[in-house]
Amino acid sequence: MAIERHIEAFLESMAAERGAARNTIVAYQADLADFAATCAARGANPAQADAGLVADYLAGLAGQGLSARTQARRLSSLRQFQRFLLREGQRTDDPTALSVGPRLPATLPRFLSEAEVDALLATAATIPGAPGRVARAGLEILYGSGMRVSELLALPASALSTDAILLLIKGKGGRERIVPLSAVARDAASALRAAHPKGARFLFPGRSRGTAMTRQGFALLLKRVALQAEIDPARLSPHVLRHSFASHLLARGADLRSLQKLLGHADISTTQIYTHILAERLQRLVETHHPLARFVPAKPPGD
């Protein structure tokens, strides 16, 4: 079918030009397949869908009881696909241009306290063998640099092998950025590398020497560390460590622009999910240093 070729071309474009991750590509494919099925039931071609069909489709998602986030993701996938067709000259309009997604509930990033991170690091250091080396190096690097887990697991075996305090990594969309490296993180990486199987290509090797550790395998190891540290494992994930890195930096005086660069966000609006931390810090700053905040009114006469 022609739509299959259009979808395939769109997915190839997302992978090649924007560096979309495999999970992202799979999600786009599933979302567009759902829209294509709806169009087929009406005898319509998704590549030529009009605004009315798009509106009916979105209303149907709400009628199915899908969450606001799922509805918003489906609309985003459909919008990007239709705009791809527009850019490629496959159509002359964008039927999603006036579509409005559902209002998403405001959510704050989940992060651990500094004491909880310390407990995780201390616990990882007590785990014997390869699991302990992987857990310690992973925790030190993720929390110390704010890397994404995909960036961490893609590190080559030679990464962190020098005394350099900065590391150049390639993130989403092929964008490069520099992240800091602590001496502790370099030491943990060195201990991990010293125990590598011969011919390992990645700093965090998988079951076979030529592959990297899977995200699932690393996440399961983190859950084990959390349990031993007496922290609810449901509260810990690689992304929670990234949020913890960002939140603790802001709480200790970092600014949003610097944090944006460290996290590799293309747009400052993405970094602004942490503004609640910034607001709390500024409030403490005013309470501590502003003269009126320290002013205690005198008791009126007779009291």
Tokens of 268: 């400052």
What pLDDT is stored for residue 257 in this prediction?
92
What pLDDT is stored for residue 300 in this prediction?
57
**Contact, 209 vs 200, CB < 8 A?**
yes
Helices 68-87 and 22-41 meet at what angle, rounded to 10? 90
Specify which residues 170 forms β-bridges with.
176
What pLDDT is stored for residue 302 in this prediction?
56
What pLDDT is stored for residue 76 in this prediction?
93
Active-site amino acid positions: 148, 172, 239, 242, 265, 274
Of the candidate CATH numbers 3.40.50.300, 3.30.70.1400, 1.10.443.10, 1.20.140.10, the domain formed by 114-285 belongs to 1.10.443.10
Tens of pLDDT, residue by residue, the chain (303 residues): 445 788 899 999 988 887 777 888 999 999 999 999 999 999 998 899 999 999 999 999 989 989 888 999 999 999 999 999 999 999 999 999 999 888 866 666 789 999 999 999 999 999 999 999 999 999 999 999 999 999 999 999 999 888 888 999 988 878 899 998 899 999 999 999 999 988 899 999 998 878 999 999 999 999 999 999 999 999 999 999 999 999 999 888 888 899 999 999 888 878 888 877 766 666 766 777 667 665 555 555 555
SS3 169: strand
Architecture of domain 2-87: Orthogonal Bundle (1.10)
| Strands, E assignment, the chain | 166-170, 176-180
Domain borders along the chain are 2-87, 114-285
